[in-house]
Amino acid sequence: MLGRLKQMLIKEFIQVFRDKRTRFILIGPPIIQMLVFGYAATYEIRHVPTVVLDLDQSQESRDLLSLFSSSPYFDVQRQLSSSSELGDLIDQGKATVGLKIDAGFARRLRSGQTAPLQVIVDSTNSNTALIASGYIAQIALGYAQTNQQDRISRIAPELLEAVPTVQLEPRPWHNPGLKSRWFFVPGVIGSLTLVLVVTLTAFAVVREREIGTLEQIMVTPIRPAEFILGKTLPFFLIGLFDVTLIAVVGTLWFQVPFRGHVSVLLTGSILFIVSMLGVGLLISTVSSTQQQAMVTSFFFIMPAIAFSGFGFPISTMPQWMQTLTYLVPLRYFLIVLRGAYLKGAGMAILWPQMAAMAGLGAALLTIAILRFHKALD
């Protein structure tokens, strides 16, 4: 058995590495995609196109607008002269945020009254609008507090220290800089591993069937179990190599801290790859051509990434969708990745995710092997 399995493994590795294009696909695209997703996948917004309509033209209004001009989150592009012009720019998509200061802004502040700042936000992209509104509220609140302190110091300096204030001191754990890239890079590692292992496994078996070599192999003394093991083991090793490569590139290039143990990450990666081998083998049993395998793979890959919590919180999904996410191995692998990277979590904390991946992997691989045996018969 070991001799036949050895020859099967040699055949698979020769078939994979003899083609220059295949060798490049195993190394080049994962690195490129890691870099692309690492830069593109972020919740942070910078340089939001902003226009300003200042009808007050006072020192106070200019001080407030200077806070927006100096902020890295807003790019003040134009000073407008009419409300209609502001609305047109928002409607045409040339500006995302419009700031309007009415006449009498400074007079209201000096008399101790509330001075309104009108903010018009293009909510076509609700995420950008929500985050931009939060940044605007922070800037306006800071300006109001500073203005209030200046007014008290002029009118009654002795009250400045007597007036109680509430000061917010945030203390973010695990990600002090609130960098969304630290959240996304581990997620990209899991998502790319899913795509690579599933497609490679499904395509390899289907290619054998499509070109007619599957029947030739099965008339040899090799047993079906040896054939399945010989087909999946090379892609298990390739998947383990790719997840290591992607993790190293993402960690070093984007300076994402790794606070956990390598053994925990390795165990989670092995269990996840086994699960994806089961999915790829299962896809190969329902596909007759590589085109069918491609379509079926995407039918699984896209929902798996959406249900995993990669970019959208699972808690915001409908309850029945949240139930479906428990059937997605990537959900558990992302918890392991982010826990190992950012929290330094060990097996004492991550064992439920490990157990879930082990159970799903065993179930998927068993179903795939049984179906594959039936397909061979």
Measured distance CA(297)–CA(199) in Å, rounded: 7
Q: Are residues 92 and 144 in the same domain?
A: yes
**What average pLDDT does this structure show over 343-366?**
92
Q: Does 348 reside within a domain?
A: yes
Kindly state whether residues 216 and 343 are assigned to the same domain: yes
Mean pLDDT computed over every residue of the chain: 83
pTM above 0.75, yes or no: yes
Cβ–Cβ under 8 Å, residues 43 and 125: no
The mean pLDDT value for 8-13 works out to 66
Our CA angle for 62, 139, 40, nearest 5°, is 115
Give the span between the Cα atoms of 176 and 366, in whole angstroms: 43
By three-state DSSP, how is residue 273 classified? Answer: helix
What pLDDT was estimated at residue 148? Answer: 78
Rounded to an integer, the average pLDDT of 217-226 is 64
Last residue of a domain, which of 106, 130, 159? 159
Q: Is residue 317 part of a domain?
A: yes
167 assigned to some structural domain: no
Judge if 102 and 236 occupy the same domain: no
CA distance 217 to 228: 12
Per-residue pLDDT at 5 exceeds 70: no
Does position 252 have pLDDT exceeding 80, yes or no?
A: yes
Note whether 213 and 282 are same-domain residues.
yes
Residue 168 in any domain: the answer is no
Asked if 211 and 342 sit in the same domain, the reply is yes
Instruction: Quick: pLDDT tens for 108-139.
Output: 888 878 888 999 999 888 888 888 888 999 99
Report the CATH number at residue 73. 3.40.1710.10
Q: Which domain holds residue 60?
A: 48-159
CA distance 104 to 358: 67
Kindly tell me the burial class for residue 168, based on how many C-beta atoms sit within 10 Å of its own C-beta (0-12, 13-18, 19 or more): exposed
Q: Which residue, of 159, 192, 224, is where some domain finishes? A: 159
pLDDT at residue 217 is higher than 70: no
Please check whether residues 31 and 52 belong to one and the same domain. no
Report pLDDT for 349: 92
Which residues, 6+ apart, have CB-to-CB distance to 149 below 8 Å?
A: 160
Residues 267 and 146 in one domain: no
Residues 59 and 38 reside in one and the same domain = no
Work out the pLDDT band at 196, boundaries 50, 70, 90.
Answer: confident
Half-sphere exposure in the Cβ direction for 198 (13 Å, CA): 28
- Judge contact between 361 and 197, C-beta under 8 A: no
Verify that 196 and 345 share a domain, yes or no.
yes
pLDDT, tens digit, 9 for 90 and up, residues 39-70: 887 777 888 999 999 999 899 889 999 999 89
94 to 48, 81, 123, 303: CA distances (angstroms): 11, 16, 13, 34
Residue 165 belongs to a domain: no
Cα 41 to chain centroid distance, Å, stands at 6
In a domain, 221, yes or no: yes
pLDDT band at 3 (very low <50, low <70, confident <90, very high): low
Q: Which of 232-246, 263-277, 323-337, 354-368 has the lowest mean pLDDT?
A: 232-246
Could you tell me how many helices (H) and strands (E) the chain has, helices first? 14, 4
Asked if pLDDT for residue 160 goes beyond 70, the answer is no
Same domain, 104 and 251: no
CA–CA distance, 307 with 294 (Å, rounded to integer):
20
- pLDDT grade for 211, boundaries at 50, 70 and 90: low
Please tell me whether residues 354 and 233 are part of one structural domain: yes
Q: What is the pLDDT of residue 296?
A: 86
Number of domains forming the structure of the chain: 2
3-state secondary structure of 286: coil
Query: Does one domain contain both 100 and 16?
Result: no
